[in-house]
Chain A
Amino acid sequence: MNLALLVPLLPLLGFLITGLGYKKLKHNQAGIIASMLVALSFIVSVTLFFILKSSGKDSATVTLFNWINIGSLNIPFAFLIDHLSLTMMMIVTGIGTLIHIYSIGYMHGDERVNSFFAQMNLFTFSMLLLVMGSNYLVLFIGWEGVGLCSYLLIGFWYKNPAYNYAARKAFIMNRIGDLGFILGILLLFFTFKSVTFSEVFQQAGALQTGSTTITLITLLLLVGALGKSAQIPLYTWLPDAMAGPTPVSALIHAATMVTAGIYMIARSSILYNLAPVTLEVIVVIGLATAIFAAIIGLKQNDIKKVLAYSTVSQLGYMFLALGLGAYSTAVFHVTTHAFFKALLFLGAGSVIHAMGGEQDIRKMGGLKSKLPVTYLTFLAATLAISGIPPFSGFFSKDMILSKAFEQNPMLYALALGGALITCFYMFRLLYLVFFGENRTANVHPHESPKVMTVPLMILAVLSTLGGFLNIPALLGGKLGFSSYLDSAVTSKSGEEMNHTTEMGLIALSLVLLAIVIYWAYNTFVKKAEVPAGDEVQLPAFQKAVANKFYVDELYRAVFEKPLASLSVFLFKKVESLILDPAVNNIGRGTAVLGALTRKLQRGNISFYLFAMVAGILLFIVFILII
């Protein structure tokens, strides 16, 4: 099992090699080294999967060294290998490898390609720490580590101030969540006297369901997850994170970072099961985010922004699943989402690459024939994210929807509505980019090199077939994926729906999806409508949607501005008008006192003599009285 150490160490090694040797490595060397090490890490993960399977155990712990050991606070630097972490490790390293390979082509010729790969490797390393940590603190190291790496990579093109701002925003939003997370860890520690998963979960059973402590712990941990997984109200950093190179977006959205919150909650499923209030909060937040972000996605014209909002929306679905207690379903959606979202982003990267850096979908069009591989793979991903059978997204999304129906048909209706919106904007994107006529004159799109298209093809296969990992009982499957996770994740068992209802629901959603796709086809291909330019005045609601409901502006007005004025106020008023003068006035007071007493010493001898005599007389009187 000590093999597990290699999994994070290999990307770390890659980081050190490409980072320290960044002046020496030429051409694609850095990319090849980085990709190979992540690929090796993937191979090790797969090997671990089989080793664990053959050993017959559910989990294994590998301790590296004692990190902090004070009093009852004992935090080993240890890794936990169980079914959940193995799943995540394989996603991170597997998808990560493909993204790394793709980047060799995408970043080819960039002057800082070596540091790009160093940071990508560091990103993978941090994410592996996150999913492998055997206690909340090691998880937190990775948690903050991915925050740092996202900061570095979003601001990779550091010459652009707007990108730097986006990077900083991502880091700070994450930090807001992290504060909640760390407070949650502390409350957890002082409740259970441990932060190690196994010990905490063992003792958790002693707590009463719904007790204040457990609710508070789970809520605080949730705050961290909201920041990392970009949920309302901490989601605004994710769309801005598009500032980074496209493979970075793929890495952030598919394999690493945003899935961290889902992973953490799934990992803490035992705690969350004890806190029904928190679960309800998660349902509300997840559903709200899913629909809200999908609506915003309808009106975005930047190819990456559309995908970004779709990520936020899909994460909302995962949260919904978590809130319903269907943790393994959430992780399953993480997996399928990793496949098709990585594919979407890499495909978008390929499009951008072909268009010479253009990201505005209004200026694209007709790329179907020019970029056949990209088109086909992109189509597969679009079908997957829309939930069309037999693509992977269908299985995971349908499971979430049916869980929602079990809980409450109202939830189901809302979630289905969100799914339809998702389908619409994804097909809008697909049609605008690949169908119709090319809307930009002097661009000659060309298919990307093999190093980029091969990862696309692999991902397309995964997106298409990934759903068969977890075939529901309805279709004669055994839910292989979910049952594999059962040893690590304690999902709430709901009442099984009868198969007729389930069939009906699926049929309903399929019919609706077909209508939506046709509608999109009608609008964007037949009528060849193109979204209006930025200068056109839109009706009020559309305008609000196009401007993302002014949430950024709201945050700026509510948080940034007051904080800035508070800063100025404290400095200009409190510091400069109260505290500083207070000190200065003490000094000045001394001087004034000096000026007063100085008058006694005018040098007038008569006065001195008088003072002397008066003093003596006083003294005599004093003695006489006593």
Chain B
Amino acid sequence: MILLILLLIPFISGLAVAFFKGTQAARTFAVASAILNLVITIFVLVNPVSEGYSAEWIGFMNIQFNLATDGISLVMILLTNLLFPFVILAGWGRSQRNVPMLNSLILLTQAALNGVFMAQNAFLFYVFWELALIPVYFILLVWGGDDRKSITLRFFIYTLAGSLFLLFGIIYLYQLTPGSHTTDFSAFNQLQIPEQTQTWLFWILFVAFAIKMPVFPFHTWQPPTYKMASTQGAMILAGVMTKMGIYGALRFLFPIVPLGVQFWQPVVIILGLIGVIYASVIAFKHTNLKTMIAYSSMAHISLMAAAMFVANEYAVKGLLFQVMSHGITIAALFYLACLVKEKTGSTEFHQLGGLKNKAPIFAILFLIAVLGSIALPLTAGFVGEFLMIAGLFQQSFWYALFGGLTMILGAIYMLYAYQRVMLGGQKPVFEKVTDLNRLDYIILIPLLVLIIGLGVFPQPVFDMIKIAGSALTMAH
């Protein structure tokens, strides 16, 4: 029941907030709802519910509305509900169009994401999967930056195309189930699909997730979208929605088409590693802060994809840890990029520089986020990446070497970005730049404390995913 509440709070408050008149009232309400959801999430973490929620839904097709959680989904739900209060807060005090509607869309996204991560049934999963896309589409389209129409359209069609493959796959699996058909994951997991079928079914299912993550070469929607997106849009997209792809792949591929995974494993790992190097190398000739962050995100996600398909204990636990750490870090980075844009009017490097003179604290916090992103020890990024590289190493030395290159390449471009934005002499045009205000602290300090805190005390997260990780490796 509590899981249903987790779903309903953002959904209902999302609908309600759309009818608010006052800007501030809408924001306060939205934040309150998101924080409430976070509190409930933490409650669920502390008192794990063994029983899920189940109700009749589409009777004639034998599809139930059933929700439940395991270690993997707990990580995802925690990340989602942790980030959304900050996402909503990131809009405070800023002039935005139609604030009630914006907050409503954000909360609806949150509801859909919670649904995706709790659904125990492929059909329900799919419904939420698509449902998450719709509000994000509008957030990007209405509140986005330059060129938003064509970029949003491309993003939408790209992801939708992937989803259609997924739908086909789900229907195919549905009619394979014995007796009165069902779309429950538990039934799907018990299917013994011949290897021949699994090899092609793998891609049918994987394409949707590969696009969402994104994995090379399905990534071309991502950099322009992140660059164009409003801060809140980028935080949602990069922080949580990329994780949908990872979650989906873990949920569908490993239990349902294990032989397909085995067959394609080297291909996907190599695609992932290509993505790591490709994105990193591209990143360091980019001249825009947001695009650079976007490519850095892609590099990290590619490493996660590679680690996922290695699928040994270290890799999977590292992956799930990195889900948390990457989500938090990238959200902080996008918020910082937004501040850069606000204070200077640009995110192009050639117009930036020397912000540290006027805003030293801003520079320090920016640096901490950058260090988290380049996986310095005692930040969360290190624990995740170290374990993933360990997982890759167990499979092959060369995987680990190429995956580890992200350590070097990431340092090159992220420190370059830091230098171009923050360091250097005072520029006359930035004479009026001010340091952070209280709202910025409220958003950044918790995120950065989490980055460092998880790096120093990672064990709680591992305890949380203990069950899931071993189950997954066994399935493989």
Assess A/B contact in the complex (Cβ within 8 A). Answer: yes
Chain A residues within an 8 Å CB radius of B3: none
Please judge, given known A-B contacts A178-B407, A186-B400, A575-B220, whether A145 and B377 are in contact too, CB under 8 Å. Answer: yes
- Bin the interface of chain B by size: 35 or more
Contacts of B443-476 to chain A: CB distance below 8 A: 456-459, 462
Contact of B412 (CB < 8 Å), options: A160, A161, A172, A571: A172
Once the chains bind, are A182 and B386 in contact (CB under 8 Å)?
A: yes
Q: Does A583 contact B (CB under 8 A)?
A: yes
**Chain B window 378-396, contacts with chain A (Cβ cutoff 8 Å), 1 for yes, 0 for no:** 1000110011011001100
CA distance A301 to B390 in the complex (A): 46
Chain B residues within an 8 Å CB radius of A79: none
State the Cβ distance, B337 to closest chain A Cβ, in Å. Answer: 20
Once the chains bind, are B407 and A179 in contact (CB under 8 Å)?
A: yes
Binds B, one of A66-74, A200-208, A481-489: A66-74
Contact of A186 (CB < 8 Å), options: B278, B286, B313, B393: B393
Chain A residues within an 8 Å CB radius of B221: 583
**Chain A window 111-151, contacts with chain B (Cβ cutoff 8 Å), 1 for yes, 0 for no:** 00001000000000000000000000100110111001001
Q: Does A503 contact B (CB under 8 A)?
A: no
CA distance A327 to B219 in the complex (A): 51
Binds B, one of A34-42, A272-280, A559-567: A559-567
Chain A residues within an 8 Å CB radius of B371: 148
Chain B residues within an 8 Å CB radius of A255: none
Contact of B284 (CB < 8 Å), options: A65, A563, A580: A563
- Bin the interface of chain A by size: 35 or more
Contact of B390 (CB < 8 Å), options: A73, A155, A568, A587: A73
State the Cβ distance, B107 to closest chain A Cβ, in Å. Answer: 31
Chain B residues within an 8 Å CB radius of A587: 154, 157
CA distance A67 to B456 in the complex (A): 7
Once the chains bind, are A158 and B424 in contact (CB under 8 Å)?
A: yes
State the Cβ distance, A115 to closest chain B Cβ, in Å. Answer: 8
Contact of A71 (CB < 8 Å), options: B313, B376, B389: B313
Most central of A137, A159, A587 by chain B CB within 10 Å: A159
Contacts of B399-449 to chain A: CB distance below 8 A: 400-401, 404-405, 407-408, 411-412, 415-416, 419, 422-426
Chain A residues within an 8 Å CB radius of B317: 70
Q: Does B282 contact A (CB under 8 A)?
A: yes
State the Cβ distance, A134 to closest chain B Cβ, in Å. Answer: 15
Q: Does A506 contact B (CB under 8 A)?
A: no
Q: Does A168 contact B (CB under 8 A)?
A: yes
Q: Does A187 contact B (CB under 8 A)?
A: yes
Q: Does B217 contact A (CB under 8 A)?
A: yes
Once the chains bind, are A575 and B459 in contact (CB under 8 Å)?
A: no
Once the chains bind, are A148 and B411 in contact (CB under 8 Å)?
A: no
Q: Does B165 contact A (CB under 8 A)?
A: no
CA distance A164 to B415 in the complex (A): 10
Residue of A nearest to B410 (CB): A175
Once the chains bind, are A567 and B393 in contact (CB under 8 Å)?
A: no
Chain B residues within an 8 Å CB radius of A571: 282, 285-286
Once the chains bind, are B397 and A183 in contact (CB under 8 Å)?
A: yes
Contact of A171 (CB < 8 Å), options: B354, B382, B386, B411: B411
Most central of A71, A183, A186 by chain B CB within 10 Å: A186
Chain B residues within an 8 Å CB radius of A557: none
CA distance A587 to B371 in the complex (A): 39
Please judge, given known A-B contacts A183-B393, A187-B393, whether A164 and B157 are in contact too, CB under 8 Å. Answer: no
Contacts of A29-71 to chain B: CB distance below 8 A: 65-71
**Chain A window 317-341, contacts with chain B (Cβ cutoff 8 Å), 1 for yes, 0 for no:** 0000000000000000000000000
Please judge, given known A-B contacts A164-B423, A172-B412, whether A579 and B220 are in contact too, CB under 8 Å. Answer: yes
Once the chains bind, are B408 and A172 in contact (CB under 8 Å)?
A: yes
Chain B residues within an 8 Å CB radius of A66: 459
CA distance A566 to B284 in the complex (A): 10
**Chain B window 167-182, contacts with chain A (Cβ cutoff 8 Å), 1 for yes, 0 for no:** 0000000000000000
State the Cβ distance, A240 to closest chain B Cβ, in Å. Answer: 15
18 A-B interface contacts by CB (under 8 A): A71-B313, A141-B377, A143-B377, A144-B377, A148-B371, A151-B415, A158-B422, A159-B424, A164-B423, A172-B415, A176-B408, A178-B407, A179-B405, A182-B386, A186-B389, A564-B285, A579-B219, A587-B154
- The 7 A-B residue pairs whose C-beta atoms are closest, nearest first, are A567-B285, A141-B377, A158-B423, A186-B393, A159-B425, A175-B411, A144-B377
